[in-house]
Amino acid sequence: PPAPGPRPLGPQRSSKESRWYGPIDRTYTAMLRWSMAHRWVVVLACVLAIVSIIPLFNMVGKNFLPVDDQSQFEVSVRTPEGSTLASTSALVEKVAADLRRMPGVTDALVTIGGGQQQVVNTASIYVKLADLEEREKSQDELMVEARSVLQKYPKELRTSVQQIAAISGGGFRNADIQYVVGGPDLQKLTEYSEKLTEKMKTIPDVVDVDSSLIVGKPELRVQIDRARAADLGVKVGDIAQALNVLVAGQEVSTFNEGTDQYDVRVRAIGQARTSPEALENLFVQSSKTGWTNLSSVVHVEEGTGPSAIDRLNRQRQVTLFGNVKPGGSQAAVIEQMDRFVAELNVDSSYSTGLAGRSKELGKAGTYFMLAFLLSFIFMYMILAAQFESFIHPITILLTLPLAIPFGILSLLLTGQTVNIFSGLGLLLLFGVVKKNAILQIDHTNELRSQGMERLEAIIQANRDRLRPILMTTIALVAGMMPLTISSGPGSGTNRSIGVLVVGGQSLCLLLTLLAVPVFYSLFDDVGRSRIFSRAWSKVSGTFAWARRRASATAHMFFGMIGKQ
């Protein structure tokens, strides 16, 4: 059979004219032409978007760390003051047994007398949960259930259920809220702290309210009769030293047994130091009588006092603790506590502050603001060198604030909070938005340098860059989706970053695509104005003078080095 002859080929459609991209391109072009004809409408929309940052930021929760299901949490227990090690152990083991019976709990480990103070009436219970896939309830739900289990115990039992955070920020314990009240007088400090504790319990989002000022510890108070002591020739310092040696004990020697060495301490036997009568029968040295009974110069009475007195900068302080319910905001609780302090009219000699993660929350906000400011400065410097213009970098940087409200809105819609990881996500979002603006402006300048009229260059450049921007956005969203929908340990951190980037970039994309060409044209008009031209000529003259001076100085300096 004869070979087939040549056939004319039909017109081939460009990839940009596909049935999917074509409508997008035509719609964007129409919107872009309308925006360029109504530039101040777009500017007003951008201003409204930037102003909305304030109410949106006030609405969203602000925490130091995101809520994460780590399949573990901790229960802190403090039995009444004066409890022995045996009684504390028996009670805490009973609490641990109740926790082990909760569905989803695999084990509970009890530690008594841990920490720096090693107090025998304090304990912590480490609760290990089954993997997230193997249990029906989340970690937050099981923590709420654990608080319900602890409610059946007497109120004298101080308890707290909290997460085990990788970053605690210091402080006395790993509590979400640590509010510090400091001052000179312990009695007044106790009054303020008790009132603030009661007010703190009224905040709906706060649970496990407690205070570091724990009174009720049994103690023996020694009142010295200074006149009688002077008559008998007994020094106050000798009385204090005698009580310290006989009650607390004093190291007098060491005992070696093989390779082990033990301290030898001397103190009164147990029954001679556990009651007022026994202490008064002890002896103290006298310069007139040799030795005399303590009962001759002191009066011992039983009482109760604080278990410990904490100090900061040589001032007594009390720390109020509290945990935030899931969905609550640390920042909102701290603001409410500040209002409570203002209502109390605290004396000027007393101060309030933050500790632990509450303090780190404020520091993180300050550092992020500094990081944002420095990033804007460095980006401007780099862009000014890249475009050889002081105007175009401003056009690009103006698009960055447009991403903030949409990022915060995405956190609100998904129930996330602003934290240190969402702050990192915001920096990533800035990078993507800035890159898109660079693509638009750089291609516009390229077309204008080829002789194209400004408006047509803006329209054509943004149409040409629409496809790569959409491809970049789709790739970014697809790449961040696993973080957004992840589950298991670490998913809270992933979602804080993923939700802000995906939501912020998706929601602000259209506004930035329209705002960049509008800003470009407006600042180009400013650059052409006479006022700017005069100012620019002065600035250029100053820079030229500075370059000449620097060049002359460098030439003279290297010339002197060459002669040497």
The CATH number covering residue 207 comes to: 3.30.70.1440
**Domain identity same for 295 and 409:** no
Q: Nearest to residue 75, comparing CAs of 145, 130, 124?
A: 124
Question: Is residue 524 situated within a structural domain?
Answer: yes
Q: Quote the percentage of the chain above a pLDDT of 90.
A: 26
Q: Is 50 exceeded by the pLDDT of residue 142?
A: yes
Q: What is the average pLDDT across 36-47?
A: 93
Q: Nearest to residue 190, comparing CAs of 18, 317, 69?
A: 317
Q: Which residues contact 328 (CB under 8 A, 6 or more apart)?
A: 61, 205, 206
Strands 250-257 and 260-266: antiparallel
Q: Which carries the bigger pLDDT value, residue 407 or residue 228?
A: 407
In Å, what is the CA distance from 498 to each residue of 176, 377, 390, 468? 24, 26, 34, 22
Question: Is residue 12 situated within a structural domain?
Answer: no
**Domain identity same for 277 and 312:** no
* Band of residue 560 on the pLDDT scale cut at 50, 70, 90: low
Q: Is 90 exceeded by the pLDDT of residue 56?
A: yes
287: domain CATH number?
Answer: 3.30.2090.10
Lowest mean pLDDT among 27-41, 204-218, 321-335: 204-218
**Domain identity same for 376 and 503:** yes
Q: Is 70 exceeded by the pLDDT of residue 379?
A: yes
**Domain identity same for 436 and 516:** yes
Distance CA 404, CA 408 (A): 6
Question: Is residue 169 situated within a structural domain?
Answer: no
pLDDT tens string 230-289: 888 888 888 888 878 777 788 888 888 888 888 888 887 777 766 777 777 777 888 877
Q: What is the average pLDDT across 69-92?
A: 87
Strands 177-183 and 351-354: antiparallel
Question: Is residue 562 situated within a structural domain?
Answer: no
Dihedral of CA 540/542/545/550: which sign? negative
- In our burial notation (b when 16+ CB lie closer than 10 A, e otherwise), range 378-387 reads ebeeebeeeb
Q: What are phi and psi of 453, to 5 degrees?
A: -65, 150
Contact status, residue 254 vs residue 261, Cβ threshold 8 Å: yes
pLDDT of residue 27: 93
Distance CA 37, CA 114 (A): 71
**Domain identity same for 76 and 132:** yes
Q: What is the average pLDDT across 181-195?
A: 87
Structural domain including 105 reads: 71-162
Question: Is residue 563 situated within a structural domain?
Answer: no
**Domain identity same for 479 and 379:** yes
pLDDT tens string 396-421: 998 899 999 999 999 999 888 888 88
pLDDT tens string 100-115: 999 999 999 999 887 6
Q: Is 90 exceeded by the pLDDT of residue 463?
A: yes
pLDDT of residue 171: 43
pLDDT of residue 465: 92
Q: What is the mean pLDDT of the chain?
A: 83
Question: Is residue 554 situated within a structural domain?
Answer: no
Last residue of a domain, one of 271, 305, 339: 305
Q: Nearest to residue 192, comparing CAs of 213, 171, 215, 218?
A: 213
Q: Is 90 exceeded by the pLDDT of residue 368?
A: no
pLDDT of residue 189: 87
Q: Is 80 exceeded by the pLDDT of residue 544?
A: no
**Domain identity same for 318 and 464:** no
**Domain identity same for 342 and 371:** no
pLDDT of residue 307: 67
pLDDT tens string 510-523: 899 999 999 999 98
Residue 394 is encoded by which pair of tokens? 């401003």
Q: Please give the tally of structural domains in the chain.
A: 4
Q: What is the average pLDDT across 19-30?
A: 88
**Domain identity same for 130 and 91:** yes
pLDDT tens string 154-169: 888 888 898 886 654 4
Q: Is 60 exceeded by the pLDDT of residue 17?
A: no
**Domain identity same for 182 and 121:** no
**Domain identity same for 300 and 313:** no
Q: Is 70 exceeded by the pLDDT of residue 478?
A: yes
**Domain identity same for 365 and 482:** yes
Q: Which carries the bigger pLDDT value, residue 300 or residue 90?
A: 90
Last residue of a domain, one of 95, 128, 162: 162
Any idea which residue has 């129409």 for tokens?
30
Question: Is residue 472 situated within a structural domain?
Answer: yes
pLDDT of residue 169: 46
Q: Which residues contact 104 (CB under 8 A, 6 or more apart)?
A: 129, 130, 135, 136, 137, 142
Lowest mean pLDDT among 128-137, 206-215, 298-307, 531-540: 531-540
Residue type for 481, please? M
Question: Is residue 297 situated within a structural domain?
Answer: yes
Q: Which carries the bigger pLDDT value, residue 517 or residue 4?
A: 517
Contact status, residue 162 vs residue 323, Cβ threshold 8 Å: yes
28: domain CATH number?
Answer: 1.20.1640.10
